[in-house]
Amino acid sequence: HRMSMDLSKLDIKIPQLLPPGYAPDMSLEDSILALEGKVKVMEDWDFAVPGDCEFPDWKSLMSQSKLFVQERVAWGDPLPPFFILALHLYTIPCNLFRLCNKAMRDDNQEELKKYRVFLWYLWNALKKMSVKQMTVFRGIQ
């Protein structure tokens, strides 16, 4: 499959999600930790699949994610740590990307409020990334 990162489709939605001049009023970490008790980190069926991505709460997910960010910074990743964190959090197999995507698809403004800080960091991280055109392959063995 040929995949590309076409941010132009998001350019239409983002101004609705993040009004002009919007700036987060808290850190990315604080916004994720604020989900505790409101949003489950993982669905029960996620725990049925053994692996290294089992997070009982948002605090343990953040702890592991911060270790990942430290490693990326040590390897010389040019992105600021909070942008690395946003990208990493989006790619972890947990409810964050599922519920955030669902709220965006459904245009559920009330649900999106929970994720607005995260979306700001994610959007700005995506804008700072360098894009290279290449072919990637995805599949299951």
Give the per-residue pLDDT at 12.
53
Please say if the pLDDT value at position 68 is more than 90. Answer: yes
Model pTM greater than 0.85?
no
pLDDT tens column, 105-119: 888 888 888 899 999
C-alpha closest to that of 93 among 55, 131, 124: 55
Give the per-residue pLDDT at 11.
54
What integer is the mean pLDDT of 2-24? 64
Give how far Cα 126 sits from Cα of 15, 40, 119, 121, Å: 15, 26, 10, 9
Give the per-residue pLDDT at 98.
87
